Amino acid sequence: MSAHNHGKWGCACWGPDDQLGAGNLLTREKRLAALKGIETGRVYDLSHVFGADSPYLQPNQPPFLMMMWATWRDSIRRRRGMGARNDAGSNVERVEMTTHVGTHIDALGHVSKNDRLYNDVPAAEAMTEWGLARLGIEQTPPMITRGLLLDVAGLDGGPHLAAGRAITPDELARAATGLTIEPGDFVLVRTGWGQFFGTDNAKYLAGSPGIDVAAAKWLTAQGVAAIGSDNMALEVLPNPDPTLALPVHQHCLAEAGVHIIENLALEELAADGVRSFCLIVLPPKMRGATGAPVRPVALV
């Protein structure tokens, strides 16, 4: 498997002003190769429907709220008052949410290691009252590349791994048998935990299986551009070391510049035995946001 060496704050070859991180590996050649690999045109939607019933982590995440700002009745009445005669009714809602609800991607400025973000950017300088001045989600490029599914859900003999179960580099390597992880690939890890999203939120949030730091470093060392999983935080929760909080996020985002995609829907992909595919992820360019909901699709 190809090696890709990261310095303390990502690859030094990308320069002191870099905000793309491992997104630099999403080259035109990588994109073309992924698109040329499509044979049947089958599309797998890897996102969950999200709304007021979606799981959210307290205390950092408030609940998703949506209310109607204007309805067809209101609109017709207002437009009549402005002289319109054709009774055009429009419905418009207002949404309040964090950008980390449902299937979403983390911006590189989402998590710091001490007071430093990716590329040694001081967190105090990057964060403003209006969001991130650097490393916000708007810096993330359109992502079209090869995706690889590493299915570890059945490692312990059941349909899913248990909460608090750490996935090791060796277990990922075995799941990748027959695949070659290459720079610019997205690796998606299926733990089976995604079946509880929206069906048993209390269980989904109480903990989850996930990769540990060693497994994250094993993946970033091979130059992956992003890592995703079918759980709330990618990493194992609670961490086996109770003195650590979000160490996988610190490594992936702050050290390696590798994006994280969470709450993926991977059941259909796994059921069909699809392990390699063209993956398209298009983060909205929401200035200064620390993440954004996305709708990843796999094409085969």
Same domain, 80 and 188: no
What is the structure's pLDDT at 5? 44
Q: Tell me the torsion sign for CA atoms 247, 119, 7, 281.
A: positive
Same domain, 129 and 223: yes
How far apart are alpha carbons 50 and 64 in whole angstroms? 9
Distance of CA 117 to the CA centre of its chain: 18
Domain extent, residue 248, equals: 12-51+99-299
Q: 286, 231, 233, 225: which is closest to 10 by C-alpha?
A: 225
Same domain, 202 and 73: no
56 in a structural domain:
no
How far apart are alpha carbons 152 and 258 in whole angstroms? 21
Give the chain's radius of gyration (CA, Å).
20
Number of domains composing the chain: 2
Same domain, 72 and 167: no
Same domain, 77 and 212: no
Long-range contacts of the stretch 266-272 (C-beta < 8 A, 24+)? 266/46, 266/149, 266/151, 266/188, 266/190, 266/194, 266/230, 267/190, 267/194, 267/195, 267/230, 268/44, 268/45, 269/44, 269/46, 269/149, 269/188, 269/190, 269/298, 270/149, 270/151, 270/153, 270/190, 272/44
Q: What is the full per-residue pLDDT of the chain (300 aa) written as tens digits?
A: 334 444 444 555 799 999 999 999 999 999 999 999 999 999 999 999 999 999 998 888 999 999 999 999 999 999 999 999 999 999 999 999 999 999 999 999 999 999 999 999 999 999 999 999 999 999 999 999 999 999 999 999 999 999 999 999 999 999 999 999 999 999 999 999 999 999 999 999 999 999 999 999 999 999 999 999 999 999 999 999 999 999 999 999 999 999 999 999 999 999 999 999 999 999 999 999 999 999 999 999
How far apart are alpha carbons 95 and 195 in whole angstroms? 26
Same domain, 109 and 133: yes
pTM of the entire predicted model: 0.93
7 in a structural domain:
no
What is the structure's pLDDT at 286? 97
What is the structure's pLDDT at 7? 45
Long-range contacts of the stretch 32-37 (C-beta < 8 A, 24+)? 33/146, 34/144, 34/145, 34/146, 34/278, 34/279, 35/144, 35/278, 37/146, 37/276, 37/277, 37/278
What is the structure's pLDDT at 8? 45
What is the structure's pLDDT at 59? 86
Same domain, 91 and 221: no
How far apart are alpha carbons 232 and 61 in whole angstroms? 12
197 in a structural domain:
yes
What is the structure's pLDDT at 60? 85
1 in a structural domain:
no
Same domain, 137 and 203: yes
Same domain, 168 and 87: no
Contact 64, 100 (CB under 8 A): no
